[in-house]
Chain A
Amino acid sequence: MTLFGRRNVLLAMFVVAAVTPFLVNDYYLFIANTILIYVLLSIGLNVLVGYTGQLAFANAAMFGIGAYTTGLLQVRLGWPFWLAFPSGAVIATAVGLAISLPALRLKGLYLAVSTLAFAQFTQWAFLNWETVTYGAGGFKTPPISFAPLPFSKEIGLYYLSLLFVVVLFVLAQNAVRSRFGRAFVAVRDSEIAAQSLGVDLLRYKALAFGISGFYAGIAGGLYSALLNFVSPEGYDLFQMVLQKSMIVVGGLGSIVGSILGAGAIVVILEALRAVKGVQEIAFGAILVGFVLFMPGGIAGFLKAKLRGWEEPLHRTQGGRPPPSTLVTPSEKSEVRS
């Protein structure tokens, strides 16, 4: 009955992901690795936007900060990748926490605008703080080595990314099913009620920003290693639009949705290379199509159509109207779903 339930589908996707390096050429392995990196970005962003309801636009900047920190620590200070990479994640997390400070006072569009301003400032720093960032031209990072493991850089990095995706997916999935996930959704659905139940708004908003920063920082470090190159345009506004489309297409408030959305968007963009010239228009049309015909994203669609895709929080389907001593017949007819 639940053959195509979430667990089985995820397992199948994991098996496919695990054997991919043996089946495809370098180019497709690069695409597959890109998907893994975007999965990390989307999971973090979904915690912040989908679960906690914070309309923030700083994720691409935090992605960039992760990539720049990882790259610059290697190039400028000669740190090994294995030290620079976690440092990048720590710095991105710290930046995420820092930009959450004004977020307690700012809501909706004001938060959107202030985080956009932060993102533009970061972009400006990447471009113009040349003595540190090498400016618009970017810089090359040293190729990383997996010795003594018997992997090429491409395959090693792919499995490292897959490892992060599996671990960080499970951690996020557990977190959103706990009192933390409930606190996030409480903040999203009613700040005033969340507070009156003892949920500290600043603390949980900061936590959500910190989590998205951490995921973006990990993704940034991996991305810098994947490209062996860091430059400002990878972390601009279009990058932000891309990540937002992934969580919308995958399903806001669904960790699995983040996986599906990231995969779908990268594949769609690749497919659209065939129609160069009208690529942007076609991409826009596809996004509009998703928003119109799949308002709950792919995850919401699967939840409605297949068994075994229910998730804690965000359940859209209820059972039949149950009897209750306190419910009148007129109320029962009201709650039909």
Chain B
Amino acid sequence: MTAPLLSVRDVSVSFGGVKVLDGINLDVKPGEIRGLIGPNGAGKTTMLNVISGIHPPHHGDVLLDGASIVGRKPSDIARLGLGRTFQTSQLFRGMTVLENLMTGLHHRTSSGLLAACFNTRRHQEEEEATKEEARQALEFIGMSAFADRPGSALSFGQQRVIEIARTLIGSPKVVLLDEPAVGLSLNRLAEFDLLLRRIRDEKGVTLILIEHVIRLVMDVCDQVTVLSSGRRIAEGSPDTVRNDAQVIEAYLGKELRARHPAS
């Protein structure tokens, strides 16, 4: 059995006395695409905030590559190889698309302030290399032609995809995606599972995917974890989860029951 790349151990979080996460466990293997689903308010985003260090858990531990990351600053956790995107667009609106991507390389570049101020040779080279890598990252998502557009001039769906590329460019080991398909056009949605698989296969990135587009989750995920009211109510292959009575009750509801009358 491969050791998990990311482990969440018995994590609990409360906001104002209300338990938003209640003793959650999660083990994600390297190279896995893990789905995280559940009704609104189930605690999915809170879970990502705990893992990425935005909200330290009140109880429990989070391990990345076997080492605890609880209590570390979000920027340090990012440096350790954890990338993420957000439920709402967090593109830097005052930057062009290319500059957004170059910012994703921040922690992998090292020019100091003086080198930058005096525009030293080494700094110029690093800046050129950063630009080139950003161009390649744009090519990866098929949006090269957008390089010089201001972030504020993109559609919501385009912003979301650029944000994924902006995280990937920093060579993370794990990327957490919070409802990335929201705002995508139908065409793009059709290609989206392909993009997710390419991220895993070509970039070697392990993914955790929060998503309400159930078809996408079922198509692309190796394992699915279902949260409801801060508890894990099911976990397993997409098929297992799809047929789990508790899941159907809590989340998938009538719609799915109608589509799968046999279950």
Contact = CB atoms under 8 A, between A and B. Distances in A.
Scoring A193, A199, A207, A324 by chain B CB atoms within 10 A of each residue's CB, the highest score goes to: A193
A330 B95 CA distance: 24
A149 B109 CA distance: 44
B155 A326 contact: no
Interface string A179-204: 11011011011101111111111000
B145 A337 contact: no
Interface in B156-173: 157-158, 161, 163, 166-167, 170
Interface in B179-202: 185-188, 191
Interface in A200-232: 200-201, 207
Interface string A159-189: 0000000000001101100111011011011
A183 B149 contact: no
Interface residues of A, number: 46
Interface string A304-337: 0000000011111111001111111011001101
Interface in B70-118: 73-76, 78-79, 83-84, 86, 90-96, 99, 102-107, 109, 111, 113, 116-118
Contacts of B143: 324, 326-327
Contacts of B105: 179
Contacts of B109: 179
B116 A195 contact: no
Contacts of A297: none
B153 interface: yes
Contacts of B153: 318, 335, 337
Contacts of A200: 73, 75-76
Nearest to A312: B99
Of B86, B103, B141, B143, chain A has the most CB atoms within 10 Å of the CB of B103
B235 interface: no
A123 B79 CA distance: 42
Interface in B125-165: 127, 130, 141-146, 148-151, 153-155, 157-158, 161, 163
A253 interface: yes
A196 B130 contact: no
B158 A331 contact: yes
Contact of B185 (A171, A253, A317, A331): A331
Contacts of A328: 185-188
A185 B92 contact: yes
B185 A197 contact: no
Contacts of B83: 196-197
A22 B22 CA distance: 77
Given A179-B111, A318-B149, A197 B142 contact: no
B34 interface: no
Given A185-B95, A197-B167, A318-B148, A174 B103 contact: no
Contacts of A312: 99
A182 B92 CA distance: 9
A180 B116 CA distance: 8
B113 A195 contact: no
A178 B94 CA distance: 15
Given A178-B127, A337-B153, A189 B92 contact: yes
B155 A334 contact: yes
A182 B78 contact: no
B127 to A, nearest CB: 7
Contacts of B188: 326-328, 331
Contacts of B90: 190, 192-193
B119 interface: yes
A183 B103 contact: yes
A316 B93 CA distance: 10
Contacts of B117: 171-172, 174-175
B155 A331 contact: yes
B232 interface: no
B75 A315 contact: no
B78 A198 contact: yes
Interface of B: 52-54, 73-76, 78-79, 83-84, 86, 90-96, 99, 102-107, 109, 111, 113, 116-119, 123, 127, 130, 141-146, 148-151, 153-155, 157-158, 161, 163, 166-167, 170, 185-188, 191
16 contacts: A171-B117, A179-B106, A188-B94, A192-B54, A195-B78, A196-B78, A198-B75, A198-B107, A199-B75, A315-B150, A318-B96, A324-B142, A326-B191, A335-B149, A335-B155, A337-B153
Given A185-B94, A327-B158, 4 more contacts: A171-B117, A174-B117, A179-B130, A199-B106
